[in-house]
Structure 1
Amino acid sequence: MLAAQFSRTGAPADVLEVVQLPDPPAPGAGEVLVELVASPINPSDLLTIAGSYGVKPPLPAVPGYEGVGAVTVIGEGVTHLKVGDRVLLLTAPGTWRERVVLKAASLFPLPPGDDLQLAMLGANPPTAVLLLEKFVSLTPGDWVIQNAANSGVGAAVVAVARARGVRTVNVVRRESAVEDVRALGADVVVVDGPDLATRVHAAMQAAGGDPARLRLALDAVAGRGTRALMRCLAHGGTVVNYGGLSGEPIALDPRDLIFHETTLRGFWLVPWFRKAPPGEQALVFGEVGRLVATGALRTPVEATYPLSQVRAACAHAAREGRGGKVLLVPDGASHP
């Protein structure tokens, strides 16, 4: 079967290979054979290939942390799945491969929906849910501010917040992204730059919001972006950093921490998967699954690439100014 693989860390264009791996064996009792339908390319995938992520798999390794697959063969004793069911591929042994045998107990059938949207259900939407509920107790009418607002997590934050009655301020790097983020249902969209806090507060007030209810900031950029968000918050607010898209260390002014009693926290989804009981995970995926099924949560897709063109796909995914996600699909698959 076809798979992407890397035997050393580095730039995807230098280290990724398209290889033929042995087909998996027939599924045993309690197992199913799943064929890849689609898998998104996330920053975590690119960082893993580069050797810069918090997880460093033994090499050679097949990348890919999430996706959606179709059940094609069912092993003995499996009753809750049927052939054709779509299932999430979460931290499977590398999703950038054509097929894999998995334990059926860890899988559940997904509701009908767009395969590309379902493929992006496993990482960004639960990240959005947990960012919105684990750090600050938000109630309807509260506000949250985020940068990287036109990212996959950014789109999910807008959808989840909207469903909960929480309003969003969304910071983008370019004027050209403003309308795209507004189309997601964002309440306020502001272009990054000087005097961000002043412009954010004015935009909130124009939208009927109270800056005193802006108590949570979600930072995917780091560098000066963390400090810029922090200065938008009400006194005693919290910044949660979950990414470093700028490639720079977090830059802070201690006066913001001391005199404004601001808190800085960090978030990584992987430990939650390891520690959260099944019931908690089911609640999170149930919420985001309903949003995807109803169309309330829809992540823009810019391109799909066949698995055999994984290097070109990774180069596209790393490009600044993208208008949506880049996904891998099996060779010969037809997706728009």
Structure 2
Amino acid sequence: MQLALYETRGAEPHTRIACVDRPTPAPGAGEVLLELLAAPINPSDVLTITGQYGALPPLPAVGGNEGVGRVAALGEGVTGVAIGDWALLPVGGGTWASHIVVKAAALMRVPAGGDPLQMAMLTVNPPTASLLLSEFVALNAGDWVLQNAANSGVGEYVIQLAKARGLHTVSVVRRADAVAPLEALGGDVVLVDGPDLAARVAEATGKAKIRLALDAVGGTATDRLAQTVAIGGTVVNYGAMSGEACKVAPGSFVFRNVTLRGFWLAFWFREASPAQQQALFGDLAQRIARGELATRVHATFPLSRVQEAVALAAAGGRQGKVLLTPG
């Protein structure tokens, strides 16, 4: 088997990880062996290698936090699972590996036969998008949602899920060439960020009362959202693509009564019951299998070229996600 392994953390993450060969494990009693179909490289994966993420596994560690695999072997006593079934790889379990052993009782199967690249991206970004739309503000059909970093994986899922729920979206990006793809995806209003964002959003939406804004950029971009939402609105931060802490002017807090919240999917995993997790992932998996929910793929690399893949994923200007495949 192959593993994408790193033994140190720091800058230039692609130089710290390498593909190594190890003996392929055999599943024990009550376990199954999954062979990799695909696994994405998310910003959190890069930050984990650089040492800047909120949770860091002990070293040495295998990269990756999500993906999809196919059941290749069954351990003794395993029932209700068949060779060839598709299942999600364990969250945070080091998914950049050609083979992974998983307890059969914890297996989360997904529909087989669809696009493995899209299914590989199910565990992190789609539930993040879904929960951002449901856990902070009670929204009704016809309401507007504002988001920045809208051309990210989460941003694209937000547009699609919002439309499915009858919501309208204002999607803010940092590059003019990102506007057209999001409009084609179904974004109602797509704007390039700037100091006059609030005025342009008001004009484009007919001064709609926007009660929820989603921030993945941080820095001064957070306050531009706070200035744009309605008085008493909520801004939810779930990322810091700018590399800066969220900055919100006192006037936004004091005179506009804006609330700033944070969201980390790991906390939801810790608190949600197995039934809640199964309900959310079951719905999202079916949408992905039917082709109703997808995000763009920029490139795929075999595990043997993980250094190139990580370098590309860490660079800006991509038009979609970078994924690893068995080769």
TM over 0.5: yes
Q: Name the residue aligned to 1:288.
A: 284
Q: Quick one: distance in 2 between partners of 1:35 and 1:53?
A: 27
Alignment check: 8 A CA contact 2:69 2:88 kept = yes
Cα deviation 1:72-113 (Å, max 9, x = unaligned): 101233222211111111325300111011001111321131
1:263 shift after superposition: 0.1
In the alignment, structure 1 residue 191 sits paired with structure 2 residue 209: no
- Find out whether 1:32 has 2:32 as its counterpart: yes
Q: Matched residue pairs, number?
A: 325
Q: Equivalent residue of 1:274, what SS?
A: helix
Which residue number in structure 1 is paired with residue 134 of structure 2? 133
Alignment of 1:1-336 (within 5 A): 1-10=1-10, 11-24=12-25, 26-112=26-112, 113-205=114-206, 211-212=208-209, 214-331=210-327
Does the aligned pair in 1 maintain the 2:90–2:102 contact within 8 Å? no
Letter in 2 for 1:57: P
Structure 2 CA distance for partners of 1:192 and 1:153, relative to 1, 3 Å: same
The range that moved more, 71-80 or 269-278, is 71-80
Give secondary structure in 2 for the equivalent of 1:66. coil
Contact 1:80–1:108 (CA under 8 A) maintained in structure 2: no
Report percent identity of matched pairs. Answer: 56
Work out whether residues 110 and 282 of structure 2, in 8 Å CA contact, stay in contact via their aligned partners in 1: no
8 Å CA contact retained: 2:39, 2:120: yes
CA separation in 2, counterparts of 1:77 and 1:163?
42
Paired residue type of 1:131: L
Secondary structure of 1:302's match?
strand
Q: Which amino acid in structure 1 is aligned with residue 143 of structure 2? A: D
How far 1:291 moved relative to its partner?
1.9
Q: Which segments of 5 or more consecutive residues in structure 2 lack a partner in the other structure?
A: none
Once the two structures are TM-superposed, the CA of residue 13 in structure 1 deviates from its matched residue by 2.5
Q: Which moved more, 1:222-231 or 1:14-23?
A: 14-23
The runs of at least 4 aligned residues of structure 1 exceeding 6 Å deviation read none
Shift of 1:3: 1.0
**Is this contact kept in 1: 2:149–2:172, CA < 8 A?**
yes
CA change 1:226–1:105 in 2 (3 A) is same
Residues 147-199 of structure 1 show CA distances to partners (whole Å, capped at 9, x for unaligned) of 11111101111111111111111001111111111122111101111310111
1:238 is aligned with what amino acid?
Answer: T
Aligned partner of 2:50: which letter?
A
State the one-letter code of the partner of 2:117: L
Specify the code of the residue in structure 2 equivalent to 1:32: V
Q: Name 1:334's counterpart in structure 2.
A: none
Q: Which moved more, 1:91-100 or 1:222-231?
A: 91-100
SS at match of 2:109: coil
Q: In 2, Cα distance between the equivalents of 1:293 and 1:197? A: 38
RMSD of aligned alpha carbons: 1.2
Q: Which SS does the other structure have where 2:33 is aligned?
A: strand
Alpha-carbon distance between aligned partners in 1 of 2:259 and 2:310, rounded to the nearest angstrom: 35
Task: Report the CA distance between 1:246 and its aligned residue.
Answer: 0.4
* Residues in 1 aligned to 2:92 and 2:240: alpha-carbon distance in whole angstroms: 25
Equivalent position SS for 2:53: coil
Q: Which runs of 5+ in 1 are unaligned?
A: 332-336
* Bigger Cα displacement from structure 2, 312-321 vs 121-130: 312-321
1:33–1:100: 8 Å Cα contact kept in structure 2? yes
